[in-house]
Structure 1
Amino acid sequence: MVRVGVIGCGNIGKVHSMILKELKEVRLCAMADIRIDRAEEFCRQYTEGKGHAYESLEEMLEQEELDGIHICTPHFCHVPMAERALKKGLHVFMEKPPAISRQQFEQLEKASSESGARLGICFQNRYNETTKKATELIEEGKIGALRGGRAFVTWNRNAPYYTESGWRGKLETEGGGALMNQSIHALDLLLRWLGKPIKTEASMSNHHLKGIVEVEDTLEAYMEFTQGKDPVRASFYATTAYVSDAPVLIEIAGERGFIRVEGDTVTYQEAGEMEPVIWRSKQSLVPGKSYWGSGHEACIHDFYDCVSTGKAYRNDLKSVRLTFNTMMDIYESAGSEEK
């Protein structure tokens, strides 16, 4: 039995706690939050009153004999908290982003390499059935050699989302906006299918929350993956200035057709076919926001299966390095473009 604590009792902490509560190999026994009342409420809901509530990670680690923790806190806390836990030999499962700077990522790599414990990153959309289906189609060669891709994330985040949080919207604590917070998963999937960019150009803006937030509400990026006669290239667009939270759209174009993932649907068409084929996922959603995707449960289950069996975990730190570095490349390009 793996004894686990959750740090951060907000919306995403709730999703993690609900899943952990049902895992047979896990005992959820501690909650921590700077608002002790929230930690106490989580204990009542998810530990059947048997867990303990704490106001800080430090207090929880001092008082509890844990095997692992889940980090569901503001972005700037992710790396410092993971370092503390890894140094104590605790397994760590942390929400995205893995870091908010290249320096932080290096610190996390060092802490992970020096620890005997596991580190997992919650890139849950890798586990979606739509992701699996699109990957199968690409690997089967349904659309031939890949020519490029596009991704669109058009969501809505208004002023209270930032001002009521105490940390969102600030570069020092959130690290970034529409890309880092809302659309890192879309970027991750685009790179999963197209590989490592050899060229990145980007620009970013703040259209609807000027004077309220320091981070971008809109970002566009152009990426090249190969050059020459038939270059592979992609367009990426993310905004939180839309009027609602629309399903994420990712499309991969090949020499003989296309594959499009949108919400719970995969649409694909091979050259010569009169009509596209529409495939819909039957994967159930964990409670939460539907546009988060449906892979949280599978992602967390897989982490603890790998902890118990010793198998390699697909969402380890090495596996997210390309996505993180590309994200930082995009921000650096967009920052220089602004200047």
Structure 2
Amino acid sequence: MAPEAARIAVIGIHGHGASHVLNAGRVGRLVAVVDPRPPQPQTPAADDDVRWFTDLDSLLAADLALDVAVLCTPLHTHAAMTTTLLRAGLDVLLEKPPTTTLAEFEALLAVSAETGRLCQVGFQSLGSQALERVDQLVASGAIGTVSHLGAVGTWVRRRAYWQRAAWAGKRSLDGRPVVDGVITNPLAHATATALRLAGARRAVDVTSIDLALFRANDIEADDTSSVRIETEAGPTVIGAFTLCAETERPPSVTVYGSTGSIRLDYTLDRVHWTHDGGTVTTEHERSDLLADLIAARTDGTALLNPLADNGAFMRVMEAVRTAPDPQPIPSAYVRWEGEGLDAHPIVPGIDAALARVADEDVALHRVVKFSTSWSRLRA
């Protein structure tokens, strides 16, 4: 007899949460959804056999014999809600970032250990088999001695992006940390993927962090930044990110070596190995993190991205949270395109600057000073 499908609840069903609703029905049985707003008509969340609750307490009071919860709620609610779910006896797929402070993360680790429940963090890129390909190439000496890893993300986000929710673009909301900056949320996958390839999983694996935080938008958080992360036993990780790009491209993580390089386009699960003047490109499969969590419940296999393996990322999160406010980029160095909510800022020359930061292991504030030296970058 085939095992009964896992009974799943999705908490937070609009926006990105809608994709979790669809996926829950593919890998298990969607039993309930939780959101203050009702499900959209003619979506799986609105099916007759799926119960809708406006809050988490109502869901748990209904005693639906749930197995797994998927949590896709505002960043600053992650710690408290995940704690409640774990103590209610559920295993959890927790959207990234896991929490907004390192203290919350450590407390959540203790709850997971206390309850014996599983918690997988939803950095989807960490389910990619492309990471194994990169690890194998590095271990084989395919690019010689590794010097550092460089992560680059050049995305475009319109004004509507920052108005989609009360917490969007905030460093804090009503006294609670949010940390919705480019390093820690929109391009957090780049940061997490680079750390994983560098072998940095736990908080103790990170020894120092250097940040340069800027913003072109009228927000609290950073939208154009660099981060330099020294790791205990692995190479240095450099991150260079913007949401004010000239051209939006797939983000990537590159491992730089003495005889070549390996670039992972992590949203595409594509690896480019460059050596001896040639490049070999391979494409790879990706394991679904919710399916992996469900499998781990039944066969006891290790999770692809268990909560504990996100400590290194949380060190970065904490550094951004406690850093001084991002520096505004003077309007003279920002060009706006579009109108109304479709308007978006472009920082001319920023794409090249970020590529240089990653390639040369140099901090963004040493490349760009948003003053008369800006012409050096554009030359």
Question: Normalised by the size of structure 1, how large is the TM-score?
Answer: 0.84
Instruction: Tell me: CA distance 1:337–1:3, structure 2 relative to 1, closer, same or farther (3 Å).
Output: closer
**What is residue 213 of structure 2 aligned with on the other side?**
204
Equivalenced residues, count: 311
Matched, 1:240 2:243: yes
In the other structure, the counterpart of 1:148 is 148
Cα separation, partners in 2 of 1:278 and 1:203, compared to 1, 3 Å: same
Tell me the residue number matched to 1:320.
310
Decide whether the 8 Å contact of 2:13 with 2:35 is kept in 1: yes
Say whether 1:45 aligns with 2:49: no
Q: Counterpart of 2:169 in structure 1: which amino acid? A: G
Q: Distance in 1 between matches of 2:33 and 2:235?
A: 47
Note if contact 1:146-1:194 (Cα within 8 Å) is conserved in structure 2: no
Cα 1:37–1:46 shift into 2, 3 Å: closer
TM superposition shift of 1:138: 1.6
Matching of residues 1-339 of structure 1 within 5 Å = 1=4, 2-23=6-27, 26-38=28-40, 41=41, 44-46=43-45, 48-63=47-62, 64-173=64-173, 174-195=178-199, 196-207=205-216, 209-210=217-218, 213-225=219-231, 232-243=235-246, 245-262=248-265, 263-264=267-268, 265-270=270-275, 273-279=276-282, 281=283, 283=285, 295=286, 298-332=288-322, 334-335=323-324
Q: Which runs of 5+ in 2 are unaligned?
A: 200-204, 328-379
Q: Tell me the CA shift for residue 325 of structure 1.
A: 1.4
For residues 249 and 240 of structure 1, what CA distance do their matches in structure 2 show?
15
Percent identity for Structure 1 against Structure 2: 24
Structure 2: distance between partners of 1:34 and 1:330: 30
CA contact 2:212–2:227 (8 Å) conserved in 1: yes
Question: Which amino acid is the alignment partner of residue 65 of structure 2?
Answer: E
In angstroms, what is the RMSD of aligned CA positions? 2.4
Contact 1:205 1:219 in 2 (8 A): yes
Distance 1:4 1:71 in 2: 11
Point out where structure 1 has 5 or more consecutive residues left out of the alignment. 284-294
- SS of the aligned residue for 2:16 comes to helix
Give the Cα separation in 2 of the matches to 1:180 and 1:337: 13
> What is the CA deviation profile of residues 54-79 of structure 1, one whole-angstrom value per residue up to 9, with x for unaligned ones?
11111111113322211011111111
Task: Give secondary structure in 2 for the equivalent of 1:169.
Answer: coil
* SS of equivalent residue, structure 2 residue 58: helix
Distance 1:82 1:258 in 2: 39
Alpha-carbon distance in 1 for matches of 2:29, 2:146: 45
1:237-294 deviations in whole A, cap 9, x for unaligned?
1111225542002111122211112353322123xx2322222x264xxxxxxxxxxx
Describe the superposition over 1:30-77 as per-residue Cα deviations: whole angstroms up to 9, x where unpaired.
Answer: 011111244xx47x5257421111111111111133222110111111
Describe the shift of the 1:19–1:226 C-alpha distance in structure 2 as closer, same or farther (beyond 3 A): closer
Query: Is residue 203–residue 335 contact of structure 1 (8 Å, CA) maintained in 2?
Result: no
Q: CA deviation at 1:121?
A: 0.8
Contact 1:5–1:30 (8 Å) recurs in 2: yes
TM-score, length basis structure 2: 0.75
Conservation of the 8 A alpha-carbon contact between 1:4 and 1:30: yes
User: How far apart, in 2, do the equivalents of 1:222 and 1:249 lie?
Assistant: 16
State the 1:330 CA deviation: 4.9
